[in-house]
Chain A
Amino acid sequence: MSCGVLAITEQVDGVFRKVTYEALSEGRRIADGLGCALSVAVLGSGIKGSAEALGKYGAEKIFVADDPALKEFMTDAYTNVIAGIAAKEKPRMIILGASFRGKELAARLAARLAAPIAMDCTAVRLDGGKAIATRPIYGGKILADVELDGEPQVVAIRPNFMSIAEVQKAGAIEDAAIDLGKIDLRFVEKKLETGKVELTEADVIVSGGRGMGGPDFSVIEKLAEVLRGAVGASRSAVDEGWRPHSDQVGQTGKVVSPNLYVACGISGAIQHLAGMSSSKVIVAVNKDPEAPIFAKADYGIVGNLFDVVPLITEEIKKAKGL
């Protein structure tokens, strides 16, 4: 049986996304449990400089594939290059973030390598050398423990869920062989909001639902701002056209795991809960004391959100000395 855990980084314009460090840290924990080495594959263009710092997150070896063709994440080129690295290194496990890009890469890679795969995992444990991954299914109503039989085991971890630990290791840089292989996909453009906290990475999310009564989300935005959080929405608010689809939290929206989730004017339908019930602390503000959201919230305030939310904003400002 081979040893070694290979983590995969995710970068946008040369900057690693947070889930990179989560995958490295979880990879380090697993490698320690197996008594194996942790290496990391870094793909990008002009990325070598930033790659060096990854030794800090526990990587013994850093394989760098630095090529203009790898500037943007393109599933085919990335799969080809990583499959090449995997064929040479024969890792026992490949670990990466289950972000939008990561899920696509993980699925394609697993099919290419005829490898077992566990998507969107919230825990990975070792049982006599075997990896068992826990993943939410049925929109989080059930947790499945999944055994991965064969190698390499592809494990994609839920973003914003696992902790980041700094452990300095050698971090020796090695240029990876870059065989781009057959490429069909062509990058056209990307439109990314800058300066906005991304929902799936946010430590704090303040969400509004139908109780907002209209597109004016300013009370929510102000609270999010003092908490340096992101603004989310229920599907009803999105369907009303008050917020973009990209803000939707839930079964058919985004699955989020912030430290703090504040639900304002949201009833707590099962499809909404599917997207946010793995939040660490949930606060609900709703004028209906019978709203189901209160059964899931750690703290609830019964009241009119237009009165209560601005008071919370002020109180937090005071507490933070703002």
Chain B
Amino acid sequence: MELIVLLKQVPSTESFVGVSEDGKSVKLGDAKLVVNPYDEFAVEEALKIKEAKGGSVTIISVGSDKAVEAIRTGLAMGADKGILINDPAANNCDGLQTARILATVIKSMPYDLIIAGQRAVDDDNYVVGSAVAEFLNIPSITMVVKETIADGKITCEKTVEGGTVTVESPLPALITTQRGLNEPRYASLPGIMKAKKKPLETKKLQDIGLDAAGMGSQKTKVISFKLPAERKGGKIISGETDADKVKALVKALQEEAKVI
């Protein structure tokens, strides 16, 4: 099985993120950069499939110099090689453009299964995985919590509201990860040492034969960022006894907040 993982580096979810004064950019400060948590599930699942069926795992990322570290993390977990597309022209892409770049790289490679995260926890876009599949003209199944591969087919249990749906697809296919799929392993010390010697290619857009026209225009543009209205909060209900506090709470929910 030739397995491909789409991996993005993102600020860790604990990071403080702010907005620049003019509202035109996001301020990350010294946010810790990590592998997108949903892409960790993707690496883990690819490794499990490789362990069961043989083959190799290739990580592909579109990102800056710093993203090398995220790819190395995936290699240290056990992936075989990495490809980083690092090009200033790819910096401000929308989801479809990023997907176009990834699909272009993948087209020149053999693959049976592509695994992406359901979303990147920075842009929360939920677009790139499905769009890569569309551009490659292969089926996609999102939000997968369980998969089995047999006879050239993948059968996936995926999350929907109120439960799960099981869907079968021929390979090659693309799936996206949902929490519950697996528990990502930590990179071991020998794993980290080995990762340093694993192949990691860095390419520009022209190296993959993509120019501005091939990427398409940016159709989805963020024009401003703002912080959400601060929740006022902090109203602690006082009272002699729990019963007093609860009475006051229920009264407030009925008369002030009007939610019950």
Contact present for B161 and A316 (CB under 8 Å): no
Task: Kindly state whether residue B186 has any CB partner on chain A within 8 Å.
Answer: no
Q: Which of B226, B227, B259 has the most CB of A within 10 A?
A: B259
Residues of chain A contacted by B138 (CB below 8 angstroms): 184
Contact with B along A176-199 (1 / 0, CB 8 A): 000000001111111111001010
Residue A221 interfacial (CB < 8 Å): no
* B75: Cβ under 8 A from any A Cβ: no
A21 / chain B contacts, CB cutoff of 8 Å: none
In the complex with contacts A185-B139, A301-B245, A311-B242, A147-B223 CB distance below 8 A: yes
Closest-CB distance, B215 to chain A (whole angstroms): 12
Please tell me if A76 contacts chain B, counting CB pairs below 8 Å: yes
Least CB distance from B178 to A in Å reads 8
Give Cα A114–Cα B100 distance, bound, in whole angstroms: 11
Whether A150 sits at the interface, judged by CB under 8 Å, is: yes
The answer to whether B161 and A198 have CB atoms under 8 Å apart is yes
Give the residue of A149, A274, A294 whose beta carbon is less than 8 angstroms from that of B217. A149
Roughly how many angstroms separate A149 CA and B223 CA in the complex, as a whole number? Answer: 11
User: In the complex, are the beta carbons of A296 and B222 less than 8 A apart?
Assistant: no
Q: Is A146 in contact with B260, judged by CB distance below 8 angstroms?
A: no
Given A104-B130, A110-B96, A311-B246, A184-B169 contact (CB < 8 Å): yes
Residues of A within 8 A of B135 (CB): 111
Chain B interface size band reads 35 or more
Question: Which residues of A have CB within 8 Å of B95?
Answer: 107, 117
Q: Indicate if the CB atoms of B234 and A295 lie closer than 8 Å.
A: yes
Question: Are B162 and A198 interface neighbours, CB within 8 A?
Answer: yes
Distance of A150 Cα from B216 Cα, bound (Å):
12
Name the distance in Å between B144's Cβ and chain A's nearest Cβ: 11
B96 and A117 form a contact (CB under 8 A) = yes
Q: Which one of A135, A185, A204, A303 has the greatest number of beta carbons of chain B within 10 Å?
A: A185
- Does B142 lie within 8 Å of A271, measured CB to CB? no
A101-B160, A135-B124, A301-B237 in contact; A115/B26 too (CB < 8 A)? Answer: no
Please give me the residue from chain B that is nearest to A320 by CB atom.
B260
Whether, in the assembled complex, B197 has its beta carbon less than 8 Å from a beta carbon of chain A, the answer is: no
- Assess whether B233 is in contact with A136, with CB atoms less than 8 Å apart: no
> Closest residue of chain A to B141, judged by CB?
A185
Give the residues in chain A near B189, CB-CB below 8 Å.
none
| Least CB distance, B41 to chain A, in whole angstroms | 9
Beta-carbon contact of B257 and A281 below 8 Å:
yes
The docked-state distance in angstroms from the alpha carbon of A298 to that of B221 is 34
Q: Given A145-B226, A303-B245, A308-B246, A119–B124 Cβ distance below 8 Å?
A: yes
Residue of A nearest to B221 (CB): A147
Cβ of B121 and Cβ of A107 under 8 Å apart?
Answer: no
Of B126, B168, B254, which contacts A186 at CB under 8 A?
B168
B236 on interface, CB distance cutoff 8 Å: yes
Contact present for B234 and A300 (CB under 8 Å): yes
**B interface SS class:** mixed
Q: When chains A and B are docked, how far (Å) is the Cα of A127 from the Cα of B96?
A: 24
Asked if B249 and A283 make an inter-chain contact with CB atoms under 8 angstroms apart, the answer reads yes
Question: Could you mark each residue 279-319 of chain A with 1 if its beta carbon is under 8 Å from any beta carbon of chain B, else 0?
Answer: 01111000001000011111111110001100110011001
Partner of A107, one of B131, B216, B242: B131
Stretch at the interface among B12-20, B47-55, B104-112: B12-20
**Inter-chain contact B237/A115, CB cutoff 8 Å:** no
A189 and B166 within 8 A (CB)? yes
Closest residue on chain A to residue B14 by CB atoms? A270
Which residues in window 90-116 of A have CB below 8 A to B? 98-101, 103-104, 107-108, 110-112, 114-116
- The interface bits of chain B over 112-140 (1 if a CB of A lies within 8 angstroms of the residue's CB, else 0) are 00000000011111110111011100111
Q: A139-B13, A294-B236 are in contact. Are A245 and B180 (CB under 8 A)?
A: yes
Enumerate 28 A-B pairs (CB-CB under 8 Å) in ascending A order.
Answer: A99-B160, A100-B159, A104-B130, A104-B143, A108-B133, A108-B140, A117-B220, A118-B220, A119-B126, A142-B26, A145-B224, A146-B220, A146-B223, A149-B219, A185-B169, A190-B160, A190-B164, A190-B165, A251-B121, A294-B236, A297-B231, A298-B233, A300-B235, A300-B236, A301-B236, A303-B245, A311-B242, A311-B246
**Top 4 A-B pairs, shortest CB-CB distance:** A107-B130, A111-B134, A116-B219, A111-B131
Task: Write the residues of chain B forming the contact surface with A, with a CB cutoff of 8 angstroms.
Answer: 11, 13-14, 17, 19, 26, 37-38, 94-96, 99, 121-127, 129-131, 133-135, 138-143, 145, 155, 158-170, 173, 179-180, 216-228, 231-237, 242-243, 245-247, 249-250, 252-254, 257, 259-260
Chain A interface (Cβ within 8 Å of chain B)? 12, 17, 72-76, 98-101, 103-104, 107-108, 110-112, 114-120, 132, 135-150, 184-193, 196, 198, 200-201, 204, 227, 245-246, 248, 251-253, 259-260, 270-271, 274, 277-278, 280-283, 289, 294-303, 307-308, 311-312, 315-316, 319-320
